[in-house]
Amino acid sequence: MVTNDYVTIANGMMEDEFIKRHHKHDVKEHQCSSSLVKHIKAPVPLVWSLVRRFDQPQKYKPFVSRCIAQGDLQIGSVREVNVKSGLPATTSTERLELLDDDEHIFGMKIVGGDHRLKNYSSIVTVHPKVIDGRPGTLVIESFVVDVPDGNTKDETCYFVEALIKCNLKSLADVSERLAVQGRTEPIDRT
């Protein structure tokens, strides 16, 4: 299932190619998977500098109240995320699975926490795209997750997609605000 935000049919072929190339998940019978697309009116270096920050997801993810990263922020590093109230969880333990600064690919897997997202993993890719005649960014996020007992695949995908849509909208809001302020270079990585 692919959910496109603000995507016209003519642009769909490019998104499909990126999804086929970078967003491969081994989906089992008891799992659901989806890909979501967002166009952001800000340049790739700025958007990528937010996405790649495994240690600071709260810079754009509205449901994260705190994050404590362990390790050297390389593949295999783990972070403990505190989730804001209102969601059916308070903590999530996540491992960095993929970080490619050249291809702009980020992958993570949830390895613990007090929530129902078991065997959750996601991939985020960031691609250059001209939007309204200006440098912009195409962001694609895909995921796979177990369907919890008592839920259907559709219910599970709908819930996860709603969270990702909020995160992507927030990523767009933060990136576009920084771009309007003249901030087009990556934010500090320290």
Q: Is residue 80 part of a domain?
A: yes
Q: Is residue 158 part of a domain?
A: yes
Q: Is residue 160 part of a domain?
A: yes
The domain tally of the chain equals 1
Taking the CA of residue 91 as centre, how many other CA atoms within 13 Å lie in the half-sphere pointing to its CB?
8
- Structure pTM? 0.87
d(CA 68, CA 9): 41
End-to-end CA distance of the chain: 37
26's tokens: 């081994």
Within 10 Å of residue 184's Cβ, how many Cβ atoms? 13
Q: Is residue 26 part of a domain?
A: no
Per-position pLDDT tens, the chain of length 190: 444 443 333 355 677 788 777 788 888 999 999 999 999 999 999 999 999 999 999 999 999 999 999 888 899 999 999 998 767 788 999 999 999 999 999 999 999 998 889 999 999 999 999 999 999 999 999 999 999 999 999 999 999 999 999 999 999 999 999 999 886 666 664 4
CATH number at 82 reads: 3.30.530.20
Q: Is residue 19 part of a domain?
A: no
d(CA 74, CA 95): 10
Q: Is residue 54 part of a domain?
A: yes
Residue 135: which domain range?
A: 32-182
